[in-house]
Chains A and B, each alone.
Chain A
Amino acid sequence: MPPIDCEDQELLDGFLTETTELLEKLDDDLVALEKSSDDTDLMNRIFRSIHTIKGASSFLGFDLLVKVAHKTEDVLNRLRKKELFVTSEIMDVILEATDLVKLLVADIKAGDIQERETEGTIAKLLPLLTEAPPPPPVTVKEPEVAPEAAAVAASESSPVEPISPEQPSVTGTATPTPSPAAPVASQMPVAKPAAPAVSKKTAPPKSVESKGGEDLSDNSTVRVDVKRLDDLMNQVGELVLERNRMIQINQDLQQNNVNRNDFNEEFGKLTKRMSFVTSELQMQVLKMRMIPVEKVFKKFPRIVRSMSRDLGKEVDLQIIGEETELDRSVVDEIGDPLIHLIRNAMDHGLESPEERLAAGKSRCGTLVLAAVHEGNQIIISIKDDGRGIDTERVGRKAIEKGLISEEQFASMGQREVFDLLFLPGFSTKDKTTDLSGRGVGMDVVKTNIKKLNGLIEIKSVKDMGSEFILRLPLTLAIIQSLLVEVEGEVYSIPLSSVLETLRVDQRKFHLIGGQEVLKLRDIVLPLVRLQKVFNVQPRGDADHFCYVVVVGAAEKRMGLVVTRLVGQQEVAIKSLGNYLANIPGIAGSTILGDGRVALIIDPVAMSESCE
Chain B
Amino acid sequence: MQNALVPVKTTESTHNELIQLVSFNLDQEEYGVDVLKVREIIRMPIVTRVPNTPHYVEGVINLRGKVVPIICMRKKFGLFQVENDKQTRIMVMDMEGELMGFIVDAVSEVIRISGSEIQPSPAMVAGGIDQECIAGVINQAERLLVLLNLEKMFSRDERNLFTGM
A579:B100 contact, CB within 8 angstroms: yes
Per the bound structure, the CA–CA distance linking A43 and B99 in Å amounts to: 56
B98:A578 contact, CB within 8 angstroms: yes
B161 proximity list for chain A (CB < 8 A)? 579, 582
Interface size class of B (residues with CB under 8 A): 20 to 34
Taken residue by residue from 95 to 111, chain A's Cβ proximity to chain B (1 for < 8 Å, 0 otherwise) reads as: 00000000000000000
B49 proximity list for chain A (CB < 8 A)? 489
Per the bound structure, the CA–CA distance linking A595 and B67 in Å amounts to: 11
Q: A586-B50, A597-B61 are in contact. List 9 more A-B contacts (CB 8 A).
A: A489-B49, A577-B67, A577-B98, A579-B98, A579-B154, A579-B158, A580-B57, A597-B59, A597-B60
Report which of B62, B69, B162 forms a contact with A582, defined as CB distance below 8 A: B162
- A-side interface residues, number (CB < 8 Å): 24
A574:B67 contact, CB within 8 angstroms: yes
Taken residue by residue from 117 to 131, chain A's Cβ proximity to chain B (1 for < 8 Å, 0 otherwise) reads as: 000000000000000
Min distance, Cβ B1 to any Cβ of chain A, angstroms = 16
Q: Which of A294-302, A378-386, A529-537 contacts B (4 or more CB under 8 A)?
A: A529-537
A583:B52 contact, CB within 8 angstroms: yes
Min distance, Cβ B50 to any Cβ of chain A, angstroms = 6
Min distance, Cβ B4 to any Cβ of chain A, angstroms = 16
B165 proximity list for chain A (CB < 8 A)? 582-584
Q: Is A19 an interface residue (CB 8 A)?
A: no
In the complex, 9 of the A-B residue pairs with CB atoms within 8 angstroms, ordered by the A residue number, are A534-B51, A535-B52, A577-B100, A578-B98, A582-B165, A584-B165, A586-B52, A599-B50, A599-B60
Question: Beyond A574-B66, A596-B46, is A584–B52 a contact (Cβ under 8 Å)?
Answer: yes
Q: Is B65 an interface residue (CB 8 A)?
A: yes
Q: Is A585 an interface residue (CB 8 A)?
A: yes
Question: Beyond A582-B161, A584-B165, A595-B62, is A576–B52 a contact (Cβ under 8 Å)?
Answer: no
Q: Is B53 an interface residue (CB 8 A)?
A: yes
Q: Is B10 an interface residue (CB 8 A)?
A: no
Residues of A within 8 A of B (CB): 489, 533-536, 574-580, 582-586, 589, 591, 595-599
B66 proximity list for chain A (CB < 8 A)? 574
B100:A597 contact, CB within 8 angstroms: no
Q: List which B126-162 residues lie within 8 A (CB) of chain A.
A: 154, 158, 161-162
Chain A facing B: main interface SS: loop
Q: Is B26 an interface residue (CB 8 A)?
A: no
A578 proximity list for chain B (CB < 8 A)? 98, 158
Report which of B62, B69, B154, B158 forms a contact with A576, defined as CB distance below 8 A: B69
A580:B46 contact, CB within 8 angstroms: no
Per the bound structure, the CA–CA distance linking A350 and B49 in Å amounts to: 52
A575 proximity list for chain B (CB < 8 A)? 67
A574 proximity list for chain B (CB < 8 A)? 65-67
B48:A597 contact, CB within 8 angstroms: yes
- With CB as the reference atom, state the residue of chain A lying closest to B57: A580
Question: A-B pairs with the 10 shortest C-beta distances?
Answer: A534-B51, A597-B48, A574-B67, A589-B67, A597-B60, A591-B62, A577-B98, A597-B62, A580-B69, A596-B46
Question: Beyond A576-B67, A579-B69, A579-B98, is A586–B51 a contact (Cβ under 8 Å)?
Answer: yes
Min distance, Cβ B63 to any Cβ of chain A, angstroms = 10
A591 proximity list for chain B (CB < 8 A)? 62, 65, 67
A595 proximity list for chain B (CB < 8 A)? 46, 62
Q: Is B38 an interface residue (CB 8 A)?
A: no
Question: Beyond A575-B67, A596-B46, is A533–B162 a contact (Cβ under 8 Å)?
Answer: no
Per the bound structure, the CA–CA distance linking A413 and B163 in Å amounts to: 37
Min distance, Cβ B145 to any Cβ of chain A, angstroms = 27
- With CB as the reference atom, state the residue of chain A lying closest to B98: A577
Per the bound structure, the CA–CA distance linking A450 and B81 in Å amounts to: 41
Question: Beyond A577-B67, A577-B69, A578-B98, is A599–B57 a contact (Cβ under 8 Å)?
Answer: no
A599 proximity list for chain B (CB < 8 A)? 48, 50-51, 60
A533 proximity list for chain B (CB < 8 A)? 51-52
A583 proximity list for chain B (CB < 8 A)? 50-53, 165
A589 proximity list for chain B (CB < 8 A)? 48, 60, 67
- With CB as the reference atom, state the residue of chain B lying closest to A583: B52
- With CB as the reference atom, state the residue of chain B lying closest to A575: B67
A576 proximity list for chain B (CB < 8 A)? 50, 60, 67, 69
B113 proximity list for chain A (CB < 8 A)? none
Q: Is B68 an interface residue (CB 8 A)?
A: yes
Question: Beyond A535-B52, A596-B46, is A580–B60 a contact (Cβ under 8 Å)?
Answer: yes
- With CB as the reference atom, state the residue of chain A lying closest to B97: A578
Min distance, Cβ A602 to any Cβ of chain B, angstroms = 12
- With CB as the reference atom, state the residue of chain B lying closest to A534: B51
B62:A596 contact, CB within 8 angstroms: yes
Per the bound structure, the CA–CA distance linking A591 and B100 in Å amounts to: 17
Per the bound structure, the CA–CA distance linking A576 and B59 in Å amounts to: 10
Min distance, Cβ B43 to any Cβ of chain A, angstroms = 14
Min distance, Cβ B162 to any Cβ of chain A, angstroms = 6
- With CB as the reference atom, state the residue of chain B lying closest to A581: B162
A597:B67 contact, CB within 8 angstroms: yes
Min distance, Cβ A582 to any Cβ of chain B, angstroms = 6
Q: Which of A578, A579, A582, A583 has the most CB of B within 10 A?
A: A579
Min distance, Cβ B17 to any Cβ of chain A, angstroms = 30
Per the bound structure, the CA–CA distance linking A582 and B161 in Å amounts to: 8
Per the bound structure, the CA–CA distance linking A145 and B142 in Å amounts to: 96
A535 proximity list for chain B (CB < 8 A)? 51-52
Min distance, Cβ B57 to any Cβ of chain A, angstroms = 7
Per the bound structure, the CA–CA distance linking A598 and B59 in Å amounts to: 11
Min distance, Cβ B81 to any Cβ of chain A, angstroms = 16
B60 proximity list for chain A (CB < 8 A)? 576, 580, 589, 597, 599
A577 proximity list for chain B (CB < 8 A)? 67-69, 98-100
A489 proximity list for chain B (CB < 8 A)? 48-49
A579 proximity list for chain B (CB < 8 A)? 69, 95, 98, 100, 154, 158, 161
- With CB as the reference atom, state the residue of chain B lying closest to A533: B51
Taken residue by residue from 65 to 77, chain B's Cβ proximity to chain A (1 for < 8 Å, 0 otherwise) reads as: 1111100000000
B65 proximity list for chain A (CB < 8 A)? 574, 591
Per the bound structure, the CA–CA distance linking A585 and B53 in Å amounts to: 12
Per the bound structure, the CA–CA distance linking A585 and B165 in Å amounts to: 12
Min distance, Cβ B13 to any Cβ of chain A, angstroms = 27
A536:B53 contact, CB within 8 angstroms: no
B99 proximity list for chain A (CB < 8 A)? 577
